[in-house]
């Protein structure tokens, strides 16, 4: 496989640090550029991060420690000239992120983004590679709008939907009519750990800004279809959510209730989960889990602490599937929010784009 030079924009942040560890020994991608805010620019990665390293169980990659951070906004042309594409995960205002990502794309540097700013831009694909890999075909229309030859923006979905949308997807053949999902989201989803957010110890906060809207709307774009030069959202199912912040370091859990037009048996649901395999598995992309959905028979699983790292944090765990009195079924699911839900999902999307020739 061809090798690609890549940049990480927002390298000093929680998601950026995850990108750094995932890309350290990546078989296709070589990190050539690290960039962040003007506060970090000009410093070594080691000095810029200082005591903000947040990836438990991993140290900063040796090969990146002495790399000098560039300024994500002031150095767009320089960065675009040195890499084949960039990952982007920055904490800035939405309109600033939108403008920044578009500047990179127009400088002919493709952007694989973890930010939410462009998720609802109609010609920007929002991709879960096992579910809607075909949406990357909209990039042709996006390039025409931007006037670029190779530059484009592709995004991954929010971490909150990463557990329940994969579990629901193979059940769509039974006609999902309505979904209720309550999410129990880890503090790393806010870029924090217990040292930086001690108020979360022994606590639950029943509000995560903007999260419920994303959790209800993003699945409909992922399940949408390309019509002309845009992705048109699916009209169903009706989805309602409540999103809570819980005292867990990593791993978003969701309690899901679902009803169908044609109610499947429990065995049919379990079989659909077992058989669910997509383009990443077919192409054997380096970060693809072998088995996307793992079902636990034990009543007390999946647990965030025990199960979030299954298949390198790239698989989704489900459990407690049973019939419900108000909906047809209920179950619980879990996914690692900074791996499959953020940086790992971004790397898998980039692998799909590379395999399909979008960085050439």
Q: Are 327 and 178 in contact (CB under 8 A)?
A: yes
The answer to whether residue 342 forms part of the interface with ligand NAP (CB under 6 A) is yes
Of 175-204, binders to ligand NAP (CB under 6 A) are 188-189, 191
Nearer Cβ to ligand NAP, position 188 or 318? Answer: 188
Among 4, 6, 7, 16, binds ligand NAP (CB under 6 A): 16
Q: Which of 2, 39, 78, 140 binds ligand NAP (CB under 6 A)?
A: 39
Active-site residue flag, 159:
yes
Q: Which is nearer to ligand NAP, 158 or 259 (CB)?
A: 158
Q: Give how far Cα 157 sits from Cα of 199, 264, 345, Å.
A: 28, 28, 9
> What string of DSSP letters covers 261-297?
SSPPPHHHHHHHHHH---HHHHTT-TT--SSSEEEE-
CB-closest chain residue to ligand NAP: 13
Strand order in the sheet with 176-185: 238-245, 176-185, 252-260, 329-335, 316-323, 293-296
Phi-psi map region of 357: left, alpha, beta (phi>0 left; psi -120 to 50 alpha): left
The interface region with ligand NAP, picked from 11-19, 124-132, 240-248, 293-301 by CB under 6 A, is 11-19
Number of residues that bind ligand NAP (CB under 6 A): 28
Mark 305-334 with x for binding to ligand NAP (rule: CB under 6 A) and - for no binding: ------------------------------
Length of the chain, in residues: 360
Q: Is 333 a residue of the active site?
A: no
Binding of ligand NAP by 129 (CB under 6 A): no
Binding site for ligand NAP (CB under 6 A): 10-16, 36-37, 39-40, 72-73, 89-92, 114-116, 159, 188-189, 191, 337-338, 341-342
């Amino acid at each position: 496989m061809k090798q690609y030079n890549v940049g990480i924009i927002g390298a000093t942040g929680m998601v950026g640090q995850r990108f750094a560890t995932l890309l350290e020994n990546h078989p296709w991608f070589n990190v050539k550029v690290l960039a962040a805010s003007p506060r970090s620019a000009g410093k070594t990665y080691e000095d810029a991060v200082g005591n903000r390293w947040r990836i438990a169980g991993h140290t900063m990659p040796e090969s990146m420690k002495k790399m000098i951070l560039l300024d994500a906004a002031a150095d767009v042309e320089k960065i675009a000239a040195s890499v084949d594409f960039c990952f982007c995960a920055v904490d800035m205002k939405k309109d600033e992120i939108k403008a920044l990502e578009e500047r990179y794309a127009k400088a002919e540097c493709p952007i694989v983004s973890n930010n939410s700013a462009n998720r609802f831009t109609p010609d920007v694909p929002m991709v879960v590679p096992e579910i809607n890999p075909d949406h990357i075909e909209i990039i042709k229309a996006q390039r025409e709008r931007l006037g670029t030859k190779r530059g484009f923006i592709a995004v991954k979905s929010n971490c909150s939907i990463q557990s329940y949308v994969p579990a629901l997807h193979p059940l769509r053949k039974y006609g999902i009519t309505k979904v209720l999902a309550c999410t129990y989201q880890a503090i790393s989803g806010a870029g924090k750990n217990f040292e930086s957010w001690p108020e979360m110890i022994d606590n639950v906060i029943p509000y995560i800004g903007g999260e419920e809207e994303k959790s209800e709307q993003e699945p409909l774009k992922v399940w949408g279809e390309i019509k002309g030069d845009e992705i048109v959202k699916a009209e169903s199912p009706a989805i309602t959510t409540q999103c809570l912040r819980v005292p867990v370091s990593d791993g978003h859990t969701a309690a899901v209730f679902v009803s169908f037009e044609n109610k499947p048996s429990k065995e049919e649901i379990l079989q659909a989960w077992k058989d669910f395999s997509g383009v990443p598995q077919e192409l054997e992309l380096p970060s693809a889990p072998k088995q996307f959905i793992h079902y636990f028979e034990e009543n007390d699983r999946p647990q965030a602490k025990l199960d979030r790292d299954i298949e390198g944090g790239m698989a989704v765990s489900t459990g407690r599937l049973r019939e419900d009195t108000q909906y047809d079924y209920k179950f619980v699911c879990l996914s690692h929010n900074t791996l499959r839900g953020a940086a790992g999902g971004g790397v898998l999307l980039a692998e799909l784009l590379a395999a399909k020739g979008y960085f050439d």
